[in-house]
Amino acid sequence: MPTSSFAVSSTLIPLRLPDRRWQKWLSATISIALLVAILAQFDRIGLGRLRQAIPAAPGFWPALAAYYLALPASEWLIYRRLWRLPALAGFAALLRKLVSNEVLLGYSGEVAFYAWARDRSRLTNTPFGAIKDVSVTSALAGNIATLAMIVIAWPHLQALNVAIMPRHLAWSIAAVLAITAAIGFWRGRIFSLLPRDLGFVLSVHLLRVAATTVLSASLWHFALPAVGLSVWILLAALQLLITRLPFVPNKDLVFATATLLLVGERSRIGVMIALVATLILAAHLVIGAALAIFDLFDTAASA
């Protein structure tokens, strides 16, 4: 009887899937570090004073929620197109990315999101390229917005004398231009996404920067409606501009000086800007703690 050509060789080694437990433990390690950082920062929030200062305007809370969720929502749209990201699990992973970057360490969120995506190979086998492209494109969108705001806010900067030295501003503009030009010149080596996908990603980032600028101004306006919305929009634009300039020292001090010069020494305005920042920090802590605890339980259950 002839031997079948499909006989299984006794020398074949059974197929072994790659061990990806390191990705789960990496996520768990980041979650533990995030939880520790969150608990350490709870003392910074004076809950009693915060409760008394919260504005009663009904539009304040929707604007705050929209402002907070703008970044993860925009990234969800991006990764939904690139990977068909699941709705709830994907949005939770992007929320964890946001909180990790803001509370723990810059770009720790990208590391956690990379580990999350690698653990789900059905989404993509090469998540690094997309995450890198989305991050670089986000920086590019911020640079474009900064250059646009320099043109718009230049007359006000000159009139207000907001403590930005000419050489600092010149070096900052040069750095932003150089980085933007370098990204454009070496885009073929930097980016791995298709041009049409990169165009979509850049458009979403630009819309998100514009939306958060308007939402930031709206938050302050809802809290203090006596101050004109145009003043808040200018302040939000200046905040975007100042925080993006790389060679301007003491950015918070410069922005505080701009605020005082624009609206005068009104303590309520300073309190309101601090209130919004504190509420955003509180949201980071609450959402980050919930996600970190859930991630730890999920890791322990699947270990």
pLDDT at 169 (0 to 100): 63
pLDDT at 16 (0 to 100): 45
Domain housing 196: 69-84+129-264
Q: What is the pLDDT of residues 233-292, one digit of tens each?
A: 777 777 777 777 665 555 555 666 666 665 554 557 766 777 777 788 788 888 888 887
Reported pTM: 0.76
Q: Is residue 10 part of a domain?
A: no
Most confident option among 46-60, 140-154, 163-177, 256-270? 140-154
Q: At what angle do helices 21-41 and 267-302 cross, to 10 degrees?
A: 150
Which residue, chain included where needed, has tokens 């994907």?
A: 90
Higher-pLDDT residue of 50, 238: 238
Outline where DSSP puts E strands in 18-156: none
Q: Is residue 96 part of a domain?
A: no
Residue range 6-21: mean pLDDT, rounded: 45
- pLDDT surpassing 70 at residue 60: yes
Q: Which amino acid is at 198?
A: L
Q: Is residue 167 part of a domain?
A: yes
Q: At what angle do helices 229-244 and 127-160 cross, to 10 degrees?
A: 120
Say how far apart CA 87 and CA 20 lie, in whole Å: 23
Q: Which of 82-86, 147-151, 194-198 is predicted with the least confidence, judged by mean pLDDT?
A: 147-151
Contact present, 130 and 82 (Cβ < 8 Å): yes
The number of distinct structural domains making up the chain is 1
- pLDDT surpassing 80 at residue 196: yes
DSSP, residue by residue, 157-221:
HHHHT-S--HHHHHHHHHHHHHHHHHHHHTHHHH--S-HHHHHHHHHHHHHHHHHHHHHHHHHHH
